[in-house]
Amino acid sequence: MSPDGQTLPPDCHAAEPIPEAARAEIDRLLSSGDLFRYTAPKDAPVALLEAEFAELMGVRYALAVSSCSAALFLSLKALDLPRGAKVLIPAFTFAAVPSAVVHADCVPVLVEVGDNYRVDMADFAAKLDEAQAVMISHMRGHTSDMDAILALCDARGIPVVEDAAHSLGTLWGGRKIGTIGRVGCFSFQSYKMVNAGEGGMMITDDPEIAARAIIMSGAYEDNWKKHPGLQNSFGAWQNKLPLYNLRMQNLSAAVIRPQLPALAGRVERGRAGHDRVAAQLNTSAWLSVPEALAPELRAPDSIQFNLTGDWTDDEARAFQRAAKARGVGVQVFGLSEGNARAFWNWQFLGDQPDLPQTRAMLMRACDVRLPVRLTDAELDFIAGAVLAAVQDVKA
Ligand SMILES: *Cc1c(COP(=O)(O)O)cnc(C)c1O
């Protein structure tokens, strides 16, 4: 609030304090210097986090690593795909996803995405026969049709990896996102639901994939004995796989663990805040917030909406400037120079076929952060500023 009682533009980029409970544990780690996950004989913070995360998700194995990108890379390595294997990924995702595929010596094949930000199932089905794996990126927490994807992939024996970096807490038909594919990967980078600065988690029920990933993450010599439940598999893989050293360290786990009990509440608040803003934006004929798919219960910490009807690029840019002048930053994925979520900027992939449908979506899809901590007044301020910015351009 400003002194005259008006709501000021909220700061959508500042982080939130880490729960106080992290402080004592971090002090303990600092005074002992016990930062490496494999130094303690048992109950290292990273090992406790893995057990807690596996329990939270209802899976057999969880492996904490340095980032979601590391988890995605390890997932593909653990699937033991041949060099050059084609991996389908949605064309709307973050550049780290095709990068993880390239890092794993595989070749990404980009699949068209609809104007609801989800995988276009016709293009997916058309490209699936050439694929040896599928990596579904639930970009900005939008879930693609996992029933259709799993049905097609299971029929062909093609493994599915879920990039659930931004989907922690999302449900699909009552099942937790990240547990539907063979492997699920999560991020603890600062702009996700759980903030450790950096960090990632890989989950699976498959003991062979878990064993291979754990060894390759850097469980050298006998350190695999500190991961529960895999003794036989480890014996077979020890020293047969490279060690990529993508481990998480204890300080990160100490930051993450006290945030997990707060997750369910944060997901509820994020969804309520998102839906509050969405209802207001949908009153404009010039904007539309795509609906969630029927089985999907989302966990958003940002909102995406399309500029609908006739908009030129110049008008879309004018809308962004007008929103900015009113205190709200709006990203149009395809309009900012070098945006890491626009597939044509992934020059490291070399020449790629164009994806006109995804391109058209990216040129009109807007993105506004809605941190879970925002008050209703702040959410209404954002919705009001966006609606007023539309009027500035279109009135
Ligand atoms: C953040 C994000 C990533 C990358 O996560 P890191 O932990 O930063 O490597 C990958 N995919 C999606 C959809 C993301 O949102």
* 196 in contact with ligand 1, CB cutoff 6 A: no
| Amino acid 287: pLDDT | 98
Buried b (16+ CB within 10 A) or exposed e, 75-100: bbbbbebeeebbbbbbbbbbbbbbbb
* pLDDT tens digits in sequence order for the chain, 395 residues long: 555 566 689 999 888 999 999 999 999 999 999 999 999 999 999 999 999 999 999 999 999 999 999 999 999 999 999 999 999 999 999 999 999 999 999 999 999 999 999 999 999 999 999 999 999 999 999 999 999 999 999 999 999 999 999 999 999 999 999 999 999 999 999 999 999 999 999 999 999 999 999 999 999 998 988 999 876 777 788 899 999 999 999 999 999 999 999 999 999 999 999 999 999 999 999 999 999 999 999 999 999 999 999 999 999 999 999 999 999 999 999 999 999 999 999 999 999 999 999 999 999 999 999 999 999 999 999 999 999 999 999 99
Q: How far out from the chain centre does Cα 142 lie?
A: 9
pLDDT digits (tens, 9 = 90+) for 211-258: 999 999 999 998 988 999 876 777 788 899 999 999 999 999 999 999
Ligand 1 atom index nearest CA of 192: 1
What's residue 233's pLDDT?
A: 76
Q: Count Cα neighbours of 351 within 13 Å in the Cβ-side half-sphere.
A: 0
Q: Judge contact between 170 and 299, C-beta under 8 A.
A: yes
Q: Is 189 in the pocket of ligand 1 (CB under 6 A)?
A: yes
How far, in Å, from the CA of 199 to the mean position of ligand 1?
Answer: 10
pLDDT tens-place string over residues 66-111: 999 999 999 999 999 999 999 999 999 999 999 999 999 999 999 9
pLDDT of residue 370: 97
Distance of CA 367 to the CA centre of its chain: 15
H helices within the chain, ranges in order? 21-32, 45-57, 68-78, 96-103, 121-128, 146-156, 207-218, 231-237, 250-256, 263-281, 313-325, 356-364, 376-394
198 CA closest ligand 1 atom index: 7
Ligand 1 center to 197 CA (angstroms): 12
Nearest CA to ligand 1 atom 14: 165
**Two structure tokens written together for 214:** 């754990």
Options 3.40.50.1220, 3.40.640.10, 3.40.50.300, 1.10.10.10; CATH of 20-261: 3.40.640.10
- Residue ranges per structural domain of the chain: 20-261, 263-394
Atom 11 in ligand 1: residue holding the nearest Cα: 165
Instruction: Please choose from 65, 99, 135, 166 the residue to mutate so as to test ligand 1's pocket, defined by most ligand atoms within 8 A of CB.
Output: 166
| pTM over the 0.85 mark | yes
Whole-number Å distance between alpha carbons of 289 and 365: 10
Q: Ligand 1 atom 13: the closest Cα is on which residue?
A: 139
Its CATH architecture, for the domain 263-394, is: Alpha-Beta Complex (3.90)
